[in-house]
Amino acid sequence: MKLIKRLKDPQTYLWILFAGIIASWPTVINKLNPARLGVIGLFFVYIIIELGVLKLIAIRKDIGLYPWLQSSFLLRRLLRMLSTIVFVVTLTFFMIRLMPGNPIEIYIQNQMTSTGMSYQEARDQAAALYQIPLDEPLYLQWLDYLWNMIHGDFGKSYTSPGTPVTKFIVDYLPWTIFSVGTGIMISFIIGTVLGMYIAYKRGGFMDHSLSYFSSITTAIPNYLLGILLLIFLGVQLKIIPVSLMRGTAPPGVPAGFTFTYIFGIFGHAVLPMFTYIVSTVGGWILTMKNTTLNTLGEDYVQVAKARGLKEHRIILNYVGRNAILPLFTTLVMQIGLLMGGSPLIETIFVYKGIGWAMGSALGQRDYPVMQAIFLVITVAVIFANFLADMLYSKLDPRIKTNVAD
Amino acid sequence: MSPTDIYKLLKSDKTGFAGFIVLMCILLMSFVGPFIVPLDTTVKLNEIYQSPSFKYWLGTDNMGRDIFSLIVHGGKDVLIVAILTGFFSTLIAFFLGSFSGFVGGKMDTFLMWIVDVFLTIPRFPLLAVLAAVVTLDNNYLLAALLAALSWPGLARAVRSQVLSIKTRDYIEAARVLDLGTRHIIFKEILPNIMGYVVINFIFAMTAAVYSQVGLIFLGLIPLSGQNWGLMIQFAWVRGAIFYNGSLMYILAPIIVIALFQWSAIAFTRSLETIFNPRLRGAK
């Protein structure tokens, strides 16, 4: 029990940190450069704020920096976002550097056996590929890796030599954001409207059929749904010319705000978008139906009816606004799920977004590209979370005071 | 509660009951079926891509093998991994969640921070990268990895349940009687959140099937033998979707996986009525 008490005490960790710094100081001091110093500095700022160290050393808790930091919702969320990103980067670092059979060791072995390089040469090449200085002590490697990731410096691809990974991301990411984003928007709009409609007409034909449709489509894994769509719309009924739709944009048409180009873009994205819509719309319908039913029973709706307000005004301003609020948290989860599932969906439709790039990197075991795309997808999801939090706190001011922990 | 009571409750929700029946059929088919239906994997070149008939209920694949027997034999591994994942992740989630809720303080903040982080990381890409680094050639390792990434949601749910139950009168009474933490967690709190735990067990199972089949589809798990996921991957790679004759080859595993996912989720509706006495009166 004494140990648990110690573990619960943040001061224990402060002492461990302090001892670590003192012990490693002589080696660190020679190797410090502005970049490493910057990362260490960021860490200190982070630890001070997040772990409540300020609470320990703050003499008065009602004035100065501490209450301001705790009261700023935006700042707390920003810190949460940063800490998650650092955590994920650390995770990937350990994955490619320290796991048994990790890609760096394998790469060095392969280079030595296939090209007859010396160990040192192979090691240097691996270091350049991954942007990790392999000759330094481990914690400095980690700091440098963090710094490079913060820069957007993701190393180089194995399979297409000399191409920086950043180029992959710049080329492919926008298409995924476009298709996933548009898909979610359309599905959200259709789902909420239909959900509200069947809440009003509950027990009717539409209610039953839509409920069954929703319970089936939400249960099937979305990539299997994608294959089914491809089979039935593309091959059996030949509604969509599948063979013309590989890639992201129509070939030979210059990019710009011309009708053919924009039409072509939507045409190429239609199958992935349709899959995203079909697999998520059921969820929106069911939740929207529930929240609308709950809202309809509220006092303020009854009062609004008693006041003789116009029907459409009650539906939009009183019921709709309040029923839609709880759906925003789900929206965030959906973004994460769809972005995460994009390697499968985009591989199926050969839609050349970031997911497809990840799928092919996985197939060729192109580790630098793989880890970079994983990081990019994660950061995109984390950022979407952050934006949704901000949006939600604007829409529902109660959240700002409730969340304070 | 007697078995007849449980049966009545099961039947009270039609969708849930249908889910229960389908789920049982799939489980029976996958675990008992292999002893009844023989598996013949020899290549028969004269019987490639046969359409469904009395001899071959679902037709044959690109090597002339009976698709029905492949489906019967292919479920065991997928379901074992799913069940193991559900079991491991529920276990981790229950212990960490109740510990976090019970102890509180900084430990609670820290554990919930970890939960938050895990919930924001998109799970499938992380799994894919991990699968590319580690060779996932046995079921237990795969289940452990899937479980390691799927506990946080349930852990948070358990924690909030524990937090709300912790202050109730009967827990106070148990404390006053000095019944010990173990008694309070297992005898007082666990029965109250059993419904939660069981339903989340099933959700963890369906999530495991999603990730597992996805990983197999991308060719990241070096498997051999019969497996629904592998069937889909082989059929996909061989372009089975483009020919009418080979359509059953890819459709059969897709439909069986879809049925499993649907029935498992539908079954949770019955479970809700069984574990939550408050819902019973409403019917």
For A356-380, what is each residue's pLDDT tens digit?
Answer: 888 888 887 777 788 888 888 888 8
What is the per-residue pLDDT for A404?
40
CB contact under 8 A, B120 and A223: no
B107 contact residues in A (CB cutoff 8 A): 4, 7-8
C-alpha torsion sign, points B223, B224, B226, B229:
positive
Instruction: Give the gap in angstroms from C-alpha B265 to the nearest C-alpha of chain A.
Output: 7
Mean pLDDT for chain B overall: 81
Q: Which two tokens stand for residue A364?
A: 């060729």
Dist. CA A324–CA A318, nearest whole Å: 11
Name the residue with higher pLDDT: A258 or B70. B70
Name the residue with higher pLDDT: B42 or A358. A358
Q: Which two tokens stand for residue B237?
A: 């790679």
Lowest mean pLDDT among A60-74, A332-346, A351-365: A60-74
Q: Spell out the residues 6+ positions from residue A252 whose beta carbon is closer than 8 angstroms to its own.
A: none
What is the per-residue pLDDT for A399?
61
3-class SS of residue B221: coil
| 8-state DSSP, B51 | P
**Residue of B117, B103, B189 whose CA lies nearest to B151:** B117
Is the CB of residue B141 less than 8 Å away from at least one CB of chain A?
no
**Residue of A168, A200, A278, A299 whose CA lies nearest to A233:** A278
Dist. CA A382–CA B59, nearest whole Å: 47
Among A224, A330, A332, A383, which would you mutate to test the B interface (most chain B Cβ atoms within 10 Å of its Cβ)? A224
> In chain B, whose CA is at the least distance from the CA of A84?
B117
Do A301 and B85 meet the contact criterion of CB atoms below 8 Å apart?
A: no
Dist. CA A35–CA A45, nearest whole Å: 16
Instruction: Give the gap in angstroms from C-alpha B154 to the nearest C-alpha of chain A.
Output: 15
CA–centroid distance for A58 within its chain: 35
Is the CB of residue B125 less than 8 Å away from at least one CB of chain A?
yes
**Residue of B236, B189, B212 whose CA lies nearest to B77:** B212
Is pLDDT above 70 for A55? Answer: no
Do A277 and A190 meet the contact criterion of CB atoms below 8 Å apart?
A: yes
Is pLDDT above 60 for A402? Answer: no
Q: Which two tokens stand for residue A389?
A: 């939090």
Is pLDDT above 50 for B283? Answer: no
> Does CATH place domain B77-217 in 1.10.3720.10?
yes
**Which residue has tokens 């938050």?**
B116
**Residue of A222, A214, A39, A50 whose CA lies nearest to A140:** A39
Name the residue with higher pLDDT: B199 or A112. B199
A101 contact residues in B (CB cutoff 8 A): 133-135
CB contact under 8 A, A219 and B261: yes
Lowest mean pLDDT among A26-35, A123-132, B18-27, B172-181: A26-35
Q: What is the mean pLDDT of residues A343-350?
A: 87
CB-side neighbour CA atoms (13 Å) of A128: 10
Dist. CA A89–CA A143, nearest whole Å: 11
Is the CB of residue B282 less than 8 Å away from at least one CB of chain A?
no
Is pLDDT above 50 for B87? Answer: yes
Instruction: Give the gap in angstroms from C-alpha B264 to the nearest C-alpha of chain A.
Output: 9
Dist. CA B13–CA B32, nearest whole Å: 27
For A208-238, what is each residue's pLDDT tens digit?
Answer: 888 888 888 888 888 888 888 888 887 777 7
Among A55, A218, A227, which would you mutate to test the B interface (most chain B Cβ atoms within 10 Å of its Cβ)? A227
Q: Spell out the residues 6+ positions from residue B195 whose beta carbon is closer than 8 angstroms to its own.
A: B271, B272, B274, B275, B276
Mean pLDDT for chain A overall: 77
For B164-215, what is each residue's pLDDT tens digit?
Answer: 877 777 777 877 887 777 777 777 777 777 878 888 888 889 888 988 888 8
Per-residue burial over B181-204, b if 16 or more Cβ lie within 10 Å, else e, is eeebbeebbeebbebbbbbbbbbb
Per-residue burial over A194-206, b if 16 or more Cβ lie within 10 Å, else e, is bbbbbbeeeeeee
A374 contact residues in B (CB cutoff 8 A): 125-126, 128-129
Q: Which two tokens stand for residue A81?
A: 């976002």
Three-state SS annotation for A246-266: CCCCCCCCCCCCCHHHHHHHH
For B139-161, what is each residue's pLDDT tens digit?
Answer: 888 888 888 888 888 888 888 88
CA–centroid distance for A182 within its chain: 16
Residue spans of the domains in chain B: they are 3-75+226-282, 77-217
ipTM: 0.84
